[in-house]
A = this chain, B = another copy of it.
């Protein structure tokens, strides 16, 4: 039974996104709900700015469906920063049961998955999941503070400054009408293939995405052609090219359908992000404000989204350990597909 698909029946009834200046200037910029021109969101530190973004994203998601903290039964949230303080502080004002998560950049999908399990199986009526990343807090957390001006490798990705939040309910609820529905989950298994370079997380995470996709295709009997889109969270150009190659070696051609939120969010030619965007916020805001509306309009009928995460820490990198990757998969259907 280990590693099998969980059948779900939930709907994302609302979502909110908050981004920074660079994300606003990217190709998806106008879709996001809120941005700040100096990425500080009125706060004195980058960590507090990130927490504030998460608070704002959660507020937006709730206000869009005319709800408030009293309407939700539990929060599932996490982020990249030490001890997940962006979530802990950002969502502190919510007097709601709080489940702290750590899935690195997979956290958006991990949180959505657990919210979806809870609402599908009747544990809770309505859940909020939230996550965030901030370029400036992440760079000093995982690599070097921006002030050092360290040169970035071509394989390096640009941590997205963004926070996303989602409200989920059972797909049988009234509020689910016309919304995207989460029908299956395939939780990720940690995979470590010897990548030790914190500037090449795409390579560390691609084998985990492969692992999850192979298990999903194997059990479901489906193939890439069954989907309009298979979106990974933040493999970037480097990771996606590796994943396509790894899938090809298994005889699977996903080239027409595979895309990456980290590739969608920035303009490769003009925004100088090297291998593309990354971070918990990357998949969160792209799903919340770009993909979900397309699902709701029926432009996407069937998609897989894989939250990809690199489970290293600054200390594990210094101690020379490989970077474990993980990829949590959700099958999301557009509103018209029953």
Task: Give the residues from 1 to 57 in chain A that come closer than 8 angstroms, CB to CB, to chain B.
Answer: 1-4, 6, 44-45, 47-48
Residues of B within 8 A of A88 (CB): 190, 311-312, 324
By the criterion CB–CB under 8 Å, are A82 and B82 in contact? yes
A125 at interface (Cβ–Cβ under 8 A)?
Answer: yes
Given that A2-B72, A99-B110, A102-B100 are known contacts, is A92 also in contact with B319, CB under 8 Å in the complex? no
By the criterion CB–CB under 8 Å, are B114 and A99 in contact? yes
By the criterion CB–CB under 8 Å, are A189 and B97 in contact? yes
By the criterion CB–CB under 8 Å, are B48 and A187 in contact? no
Q: Which residues of A contact B (CB under 8 A)?
A: 1-4, 6, 44-45, 47-48, 69-74, 78, 80-85, 88-89, 91-92, 94-104, 110, 114, 117-118, 121-125, 187-190, 192, 309, 311-316, 319, 321, 324, 326
Q: Which of B4, B48, B103, B319 is the one whose CB lies under 8 Å from A73?
A: B4
Per the bound structure, the CA–CA distance linking A123 and B172 in Å amounts to 18
What would be 28 A-B contacts, judged by CB atoms less than 8 Å apart? A2-B69, A2-B71, A2-B72, A2-B96, A2-B97, A3-B95, A3-B96, A6-B123, A44-B319, A47-B319, A48-B319, A48-B321, A78-B102, A82-B83, A83-B102, A83-B312, A84-B102, A85-B313, A89-B311, A97-B188, A98-B187, A98-B190, A99-B103, A99-B114, A99-B187, A100-B101, A100-B311, A101-B102
By the criterion CB–CB under 8 Å, are B315 and A85 in contact? yes
Residues of B within 8 A of A97 (CB): 2-3, 187-189
By the criterion CB–CB under 8 Å, are B192 and A92 in contact? yes
A184 to chain B, nearest CB (A): 13
Per the bound structure, the CA–CA distance linking A130 and B313 in Å amounts to 19
A335 to chain B, nearest CB (A): 25
Counting from the closest, the 4 A-B pairs by CB-CB distance are A97-B187, A83-B313, A88-B311, A82-B313
By the criterion CB–CB under 8 Å, are B85 and A311 in contact? yes
Residues of B within 8 A of A80 (CB): 83
By the criterion CB–CB under 8 Å, are A311 and B83 in contact? yes
Per the bound structure, the CA–CA distance linking A197 and B96 in Å amounts to 25
Residues of B within 8 A of A89 (CB): 311, 316, 321, 324
For residue A81, which residue of chain B has the nearest CB? B313
Given that A74-B187, A92-B192, A97-B188 are known contacts, is A82 also in contact with B315, CB under 8 Å in the complex? yes
